[in-house]
Chain A
């Protein structure tokens, strides 16, 4: 009886380096470029062939993908568990909405202004919580969006429970589509670069052991605040953008969906890769469109997916696929 085992070998090119040696041959260049280029091309070409309804779904998916990237960046690289992505989203949405509604500023300006102002505001709100880690930070982020919800409900400012309606739309669906896809791709690749830079290294250090980073004489709060700002930028942009797509902002901007779906997308797609969050969003959001008939049961479905993946497949789909792509597998006799 000959027993066999599966041998896994890393493909050589990855062991050596990401870029320099790859320039030796077109095949190796293709090997490195293909997994990045093909999804980009598919993403950019897909809207051209989809019907209008599914174009809207792509827009929605892009928004959730941005929120997921933002969550993954905070969670996997800084160690901050955010249960309040809805905070970033809602603040950006309400800023854009009120700028447009009360001051009549065009979307071309409200979106950048509310992205930056929203991120600044969110960072300021969460600044006291930066001294905390783990569950304490999670608790605060869970509470904040709900508090904003209650304040708006109670004081009836910013349109109260009715929200602000009849806001200026973006010019045309193509601009809407390619704006969100473009920003999403830029954010994805920029962040992937950032986390491998020195700045990212410090963040990872904070994730692994913040006391050690502190011991190295680095001000961890400053780094955490910066990371928070970056994450909030993405969230606020998503909020401001969707406000103008819907031409409406209301209490639903602080809804739990904007917190749960990004977490689910990242957990399913694979934490710590950023690309995984996008992959997860592009699986889950269209899937939830298909399951629209089930209404609230979709959140149950998301939540159970989170639990199942966290227990059974914590690495997520992206890491799994990446592993398969980078490794040879063969059966050897032992």
Chain B
């Protein structure tokens, strides 16, 4: 039982980190809360499915194509919609939220509902870790999650684009004087965020079914992690994911699966009450920010 909780808690933590990291990245760089994050996640799932089953593309190619398409859509969201309302935070929220609903409900309308919407796992089979059976997909997931965090850290510290991202995130005006194009960076940040959502979808969706409802759940989980960990800190995201991941698994194991989301909410509430900037947030005072 205990080993079960330990291992699946870690897996669940990684799942949450994967879901949240794209959202956090976009918000951290451009200050845009992309409420369409969950919708992009689901969109990727269905895109891969269509490539696989309708067009018969090889799995690996389908994955890369789907990621590229989602990233392009992310960039398009910025250039077509957000560019015109940039800076009006509330309009950004409403527009992206509405877009998310449009995407999700369109899938529902066109009949993307049912048990056949599943993706194959990368590698079949499972291993026993300390007496607990874990399938390979979940092990891959941990690897991807950990690798991604490392890569992101490397990217934001040692590449030009990454450094520009951080510059824009810190002081936009100063970044502008250094010749960093704010709009280009925001486009890139949305594309990156979307690509990360796509990556999460590709790694996570083989574990279950692709459903429209998942879209909203993904968004909620991403929001919960970002509130818990504090926006704008990768360490915070990872720590909050692990914390919430274990909390959820403990609830599921020892109380009842129904209470899973309730735990998430309670966590958000307590954190907001005690420390509104999140457990590891770097913002001094949340009140000064939107």
Contact = CB atoms under 8 A, between A and B. Distances in A.
Given A133-B290, A151-B262, A295-B109, A306 B272 contact: no
A228 to B, nearest CB: 15
A132 B85 contact: no
A51 interface: no
A140 B272 contact: yes
Given A142-B223, A297-B109, A303-B102, A154 B262 contact: yes
A9 interface: no
Contacts of A154: 256, 258-259, 262
Interface in B201-252: 216, 219-220, 223-224, 227
Contact of B85 (A83, A296, A303, A310): A310
A286 to B, nearest CB: 20
A287 interface: no
A210 B265 CA distance: 27
A299 to B, nearest CB: 4
Interface residues on B, range: 35 or more
B286 A132 contact: yes
A122 B170 CA distance: 36
Contacts of B85: 310-311, 314
B276 A142 contact: no
Nearest to B100: A303
Interface string A98-141: 00000000000000000000000000000011011111101110
Interface residues on A, range: 35 or more
A29 to B, nearest CB: 37
B94 interface: yes
B95 interface: yes
Contacts of A134: 89-90, 93, 289-290
Interface in B95-126: 95, 97-102, 105-106, 108-109
B268 interface: yes
B99 A307 contact: yes
B241 to A, nearest CB: 17
B105 A303 contact: yes
A132 B95 contact: no
B109 A296 contact: yes
B2 interface: no
A300 B265 contact: no
Contacts of A263: 94, 98
Interface in A137-152: 138-140, 142-144, 146-147, 150-151
B272 A304 contact: no
Contacts of B258: 150, 153-155
Nearest to B212: A296
Contacts of B98: 260, 263-264, 302-304, 306-307, 310
Contacts of B273: 128
Contacts of B94: 81, 263, 267, 306, 310
Interface string B262-279: 101100110011001000
Contacts of B95: 306-307, 310-311
Interface string A156-171: 0000000000000000
Nearest to A267: B94
B14 to A, nearest CB: 22
Contact of B90 (A81, A256, A300, A307): A81
Nearest to A139: B223
Contacts of B256: 154
A150 B33 CA distance: 25
A178 interface: no
A79 B287 CA distance: 14
B272 A129 contact: yes
Contacts of A296: 105, 108-109
B81 A79 contact: no
Given A135-B89, A135-B93, A143 B223 contact: yes
Interface string A268-306: 000000000000000000000000001111011011101
28 contacts: A83-B93, A83-B97, A128-B273, A132-B272, A132-B276, A132-B286, A133-B287, A133-B290, A134-B90, A135-B290, A143-B265, A146-B261, A150-B258, A150-B261, A154-B258, A260-B98, A263-B94, A263-B98, A294-B109, A297-B106, A297-B109, A303-B99, A303-B100, A306-B94, A306-B98, A310-B91, A311-B84, A314-B91
Interface of B: 27, 33, 81, 84-85, 89-91, 93-95, 97-102, 105-106, 108-109, 216, 219-220, 223-224, 227, 256, 258-259, 261-262, 264-265, 268-269, 272-273, 276, 286-290
Give the 8 A-B CB pairs with smallest separation, nearest first: A154-B258, A134-B290, A303-B102, A306-B98, A303-B98, A135-B33, A299-B105, A303-B101
Interface of A: 75, 79, 81, 83, 128-129, 131-136, 138-140, 142-144, 146-147, 150-151, 153-155, 210-211, 256, 260, 263-264, 267, 294-297, 299-300, 302-304, 306-307, 310-311, 314
Given A75-B90, A310-B85, A310-B95, 6 more contacts: A83-B97, A133-B287, A134-B90, A136-B286, A146-B261, A310-B91
